[in-house]
Amino acid sequence: MKLLVIIGFSYLYAFFEIFLNIRQRRKGIMIALNDKGSLWLLYISITIGYILSFSIGATSIGRIYHWDTLFGIGVVLVIAGMIIRIQSILTLKNSFTYSVAKVEDHKLIETGMYRYIRHPGYLGQLLIFIGISISLSNWLSVIFMVIPIAIGYNYRVAVEERFMAEQFGQKYLNYKNKTKKIVPMIY
């Protein structure tokens, strides 16, 4: 039953992201794209992470036998990640894009969670993926989920930050100096 809940969360989250992506493309608010393949790398790294995590999670290799506790922790992380992800999207409003892109009337957002970290939406997504893998109650599942996804997000953040520096110049560099990348007060 718990495995069905985990799979259900995974599909629900995937449909949420696909829905937002399709909805955004229909609006056509993007002026200039500078994605450098980072969105595709994210799709690929997330897919690899899921395949590896669920594959090893289906075996007894790396199994931790505190299923209820880890399942509960995983669910809490998924819910926290969804709240952070949705809040970051709502804060960005029309500046939110799936591709690294300039939008009409593009503004540097420094309110809400963006006051402390530059990429709260990615923090939310990382919490979702970590929560899903923890809920599988297998330490190898967590590693196999996190490593490929971290590679994808590391590249994505680098591309996005270069783009933002090009778009906003010194204003973005000043913002960058007073905020952390993904984890408040740490990184």
Domains (ranges, CATH) in the chain?
2-178 (1.20.120.1630)
Residues sharing a CB contact under 8 Å with residue 66, sequence separation 6 or more, in sequence order: 137
Residue whose pair of structure tokens reads 């591309």 in the numeric block? 159
pLDDT in tens, the chain (187 residues): 677 778 887 888 888 888 777 776 666 555 556 778 888 999 999 999 999 999 998 888 988 887 789 999 999 999 999 999 999 999 988 778 777 877 777 788 999 999 999 999 999 999 999 999 999 999 999 999 999 999 999 999 999 999 999 989 999 999 999 999 998 878 7
Pick the closest to residue 6 from 166, 95, 137 (CA basis).
Answer: 137
Q: Quote the pLDDT of residue 51.
A: 94
124 within 8 A of 89, measured Cβ to Cβ? no
pTM over 0.85: yes
Q: Quote the pLDDT of residue 26.
A: 63
Q: Quote the pLDDT of residue 52.
A: 95
Q: Quote the pLDDT of residue 117.
A: 96
152 within 8 A of 44, measured Cβ to Cβ? yes
Which alpha helices (DSSP H) does 28-117 contain, by range? 38-57, 67-92
